[in-house]
A and B are shown apart, each in its own frame.
Chain A
Amino acid sequence: MNTNSFGSKLAGGIKKFLWMAAIPVILFVIFWVATPGFGPNSILVILNQSMIPMAIGYGMCFLMKAGMMELSAGAQIILIGIVGVQFSKTFGMPGFIIGCIVTGVLTGLLKGAVFALLRIPSMVISLGMCLILEVIGRWIAGGKGKMDLDKSLGFIGKVPYNFVIIAILGILFLLIFYNTAFGSHVRAIGNNEVVAKSLGIKPIKVKFLCYTVCGFFFGFAAILQVCYSNTIAAKMSMGSLPMVFKPMMGVLIGIELNRIYDNFLVNILVGELGMAIIFNGLMAAGLPTTIQDFVTGFFLLFVMLISANRESAGDAIRRIKLRRQAAKQEG
């Protein structure tokens, strides 16, 4: 019989949420104490810098939870941004926003269609599509290989509007991931595709939709990316790959944290915020990029270590207590 009262379940949920919220807070305090140039003034910068990875991370989460690898996100976002800026030249703000979102969905559909048709591993698809999308972006961007957004339009992706966009995306993510059949099917396929198939779920269709939904989120990510510096530059020869790693690390951290707290929205937010705090903290400390990368990699491994061994650590503590009690009784 379920003896948990609503109150105790709520308290348990709040406790877990507070554990999650403590991660960025602790990181912030560590850098605040250790780095003179880092403090409350950095909060806005950190939040601002977390918005783009967060938008990408929410999109990537669908693919990664369905067991797929996504390395073409950077190329896709650059292409979306370039098309959006192109549209803004004719249609102004509506052209920019709608252009980005529609291009996001269309490129998502394209990647999904390639996956559904070829049925080859997502890693191969993502590398192939990375090259193809980069070339298309470069081709649309033309001679200089970069496109500038009219400065009067850039405000939409800046504080405070970027926070509003992320809040809307977060709500959409929650709705789609936890309150739709599609969201359940994504998690089911990531868990056991064979069983999912035997229960009538169509993995190819779900993965196709994953690419599409992911493209929708990338549309918003592209809006934020272009507005961040009012410009977007095409990349070639997989130059867009580095754009993928930061949000991907945030999602990986989020997936690991999900063992403790089943809420991907919060977990990805914590993961991306954590990454932004570390980057900014290290930058404030004046450390070279190599050390920044080293510490970031270390942080990722540390979170994975804590998350993966949380139960073992709890068991070990319990075991030590029990053995002490038993020894006392024998004594």
Chain B
Amino acid sequence: MSDEKKLLFQAKNMYKSFGPTKALVDVSLDVYAGEVVGLIGENGSGKSTLTTIIARIQKGDQEEMYLEGQPYSPPDVIAATAEGICMVTQEQATFEDLSVAANIFIGEEKQFATGPVVNNAQMKKAAKKALENIGVTHINVSTLAGKLVFEDRKLVEIARAVYADPKILIIDETSTTLGKRGRDILYSVINSIRDSGRAVIFISHDIDEIMEVCDRISILRDGHKVAEMEKKDFTSLGIKRQMVGREIEDNFYRNDYDGSFSDEVALRARNLALGCLRDISFDLHKGEILGVGGLADCGMHDLGRILFGLDKPDLGSVETGYGKRIKKNTDAIKNDFAYISKNRDQEALFSVMSIRDNICIASLNKLANGLGLISNKKEKDLVNTWTNELQIKMDNMNQFVMYLSGGNKQKVAVAKWLGFHADVFILDCPTRGIDVGVKAAIYQLLSELKAQGKAIIMISEELPEVIGMSDRILIIKDGLISGEFPRNPDLKESDLINYMI
């Protein structure tokens, strides 16, 4: 099939190393006009490295690339954009102090300039058009990006990339940050680029999404390309096997369906109201995994922040099982609560601190001796335990977190609270950006935590995950609990969706 198509882009024999880590070894990639090529692989397999080299965010140690048959080696991102390759990265790439319009045209202001002076009115008009082009009408282009919600900031990035009218658009692990509306917009952008004879390179850890969206996939493992598949050959098990290099069960969620947990309450939420959330009440029990699902903007992510004391509710209260009020996050931590934000880079990690510091930061009091001195050995043991348990790919524990791949960053965020030995876990999208192998490990860990009597709230936009792991599911719609479901083998996504939309 591909042979009949026009070869649009070719990367040959790509190599890249970071110190002793070989991120890419002799990787080649062909992209044909009018197709969506998926790149899939475990965290640290080289997907983002390959695409950031193509987008010229970084350069390869050895590289040979062609765009429409011509040698392609632009010096930087702006030149790559000018040649027709744009990328939407998995990290937050908007500037909160700049308006939406300035964010969309950052680095491209010259088109609105007379001499050095930029015509802001003209830029805003063009920004409005750029957003409308991808079907976004609810964002005010004059607003500072810092005042937008996470999903809208990502839509601004997509508008920025699409406005450049790229021949190839690279989308790196973006859909996990989007809710249903955002994903619909993203898929419509992808379809429109494919239909116009251009191409998309699409990275995602969601195998179902990859199978749905892509025409062809390249599978990477440990910096090597291990397989290529055409759509007709896609099978979930086959892809997983190639990704991790071993057999992985198709269903890596819990197999038990008794849904039992202790009667003892670990967290009590009463009549919580803030923003769009209204009158949310529930009990979380010891040994329970309580799934919370809904559309991205239903308020469930705010609920996680309220439960951990990061946001004060307008009404209502959060208490521990024995009646201690959680008014702020320090109360939560004192009572052995743990929280992982969906917004990993801004709220869950210190990017310019080491893996060791990030993992130990929540546990420093527990690592200190009677004099308040922290034992070096205890610190190292803690880090070694959890980096091994979660298979974090790193040069050493003193490496800065900013140099890790997206999935490995998420693992560090998870390791921090696992090492803290919390009793109540509030996990907001805990497997966002995590590959299938590590997802399975995280689910296994959640099951183990449940067995130890820990109480877990898992907020997630992935319904299979919510259904597969929860003892009880709360669906939130328009800020209210619209449905509650006990664990049940017959429960389907469609049952929940009816209560979400």
Contact = CB atoms under 8 A, between A and B. Distances in A.
A179 B118 contact: yes
B211 interface: no
A185 to B, nearest CB: 8
Interface in B103-142: 106-107, 109-110, 113, 116-120, 137-138, 140, 142
A39 to B, nearest CB: 39
A199 B120 contact: no
B95 A180 contact: no
Contact of B81 (A9, A191, A200): A200
A103 to B, nearest CB: 23
B102 interface: yes
A229 interface: no
Interface string B92-105: 11111110001000
17 contacts: A2-B138, A180-B118, A181-B110, A184-B98, A184-B102, A184-B109, A184-B118, A188-B95, A188-B97, A190-B97, A191-B96, A191-B98, A192-B95, A199-B78, A199-B93, A316-B312, A322-B273
**Most-contacted residue by chain A among B57, B81, B116, B402 (CB, 10 A):** B116
Contacts of B106: 184-185, 188, 196, 199, 201
A181 B117 CA distance: 8
A262 interface: yes
Given A1-B137, A326-B315, A182 B116 contact: yes
A190 B96 CA distance: 10
Contacts of B57: 198
Contacts of B109: 180-181, 184
A180 B402 contact: no
B95 A196 contact: yes
Given A180-B118, A181-B118, A194-B402, A199 B110 contact: no
B186 interface: no
B335 interface: no
B140 A322 contact: no
B89 interface: yes
Contact of A2 (B92, B107, B140): B140
Nearest to B273: A322
B58 to A, nearest CB: 9
A144 interface: no
Contact of A180 (B77, B116, B312): B116
Interface in A170-187: 175-176, 178-182, 184-185, 187
Contact of A318 (B96, B119, B142, B314): B314
Nearest to B141: A2
Interface in B53-102: 57, 76-79, 81, 89, 91-98, 102
A159 to B, nearest CB: 31
Interface residues of B, number: 39
A90 interface: no
A167 interface: no
A316 B102 CA distance: 33
Contact of A187 (B98, B117, B312): B98
A84 to B, nearest CB: 26
Contacts of B102: 184
A201 B107 contact: yes
Interface string A232-264: 000000000000000000000000000000100
A188 B98 contact: yes
A150 interface: no
Contact of B312 (A1, A184, A319): A319
A198 B77 contact: yes
Contacts of A1: 137-138
A316 B402 CA distance: 36
A231 B445 CA distance: 74
B144 interface: yes
A228 B107 CA distance: 41
Interface in A4-48: 4, 9
B107 A200 contact: yes
A175 B77 CA distance: 27
A198 to B, nearest CB: 5
A73 to B, nearest CB: 23
Contacts of B78: 199-200
B9 to A, nearest CB: 20
Interface of A: 1-2, 4, 9, 175-176, 178-182, 184-185, 187-188, 190-192, 194-196, 198-201, 262, 315-316, 318-319, 322-323, 326
Contacts of B98: 184, 187-188, 191
A299 B138 CA distance: 40
Contacts of B107: 181, 185, 199-201
A195 B314 contact: no
A188 B351 CA distance: 18
B336 to A, nearest CB: 26
Given A187-B97, A192-B92, A323-B314, 5 more contacts: A1-B137, A176-B116, A188-B97, A192-B95, A198-B77
A201 B89 CA distance: 16
A192 B345 CA distance: 12
Interface in B395-413: 402
A322 B95 contact: no
B91 A195 contact: yes
Contact of B144 (A184, A192, A262): A262
Contact of B117 (A2, A179, A195): A179
A51 to B, nearest CB: 25
Interface in B263-316: 273, 312-315
A76 B118 CA distance: 30
A315 B120 CA distance: 33
Contacts of B138: 1-2
B95 A181 contact: no
Contacts of B402: 194
A116 to B, nearest CB: 17
A204 to B, nearest CB: 13
Nearest to B91: A195
B116 A195 contact: no
Interface in B314-342: 314-315
**Most-contacted residue by chain A among B89, B102, B144 (CB, 10 A):** B102
Contacts of B77: 198-200
B103 to A, nearest CB: 8
A326 B317 CA distance: 13
Contacts of B92: 192, 195
A200 B76 contact: yes
A293 to B, nearest CB: 31
B315 A322 contact: yes
**Most-contacted residue by chain A among B81, B96, B106 (CB, 10 A):** B106
A9 to B, nearest CB: 8
Contacts of A9: 142
A174 to B, nearest CB: 11
A182 B140 CA distance: 23
B89 A198 contact: yes
A61 to B, nearest CB: 13
Contacts of A175: 117
A316 B314 CA distance: 8
Interface string B432-446: 000000000000000
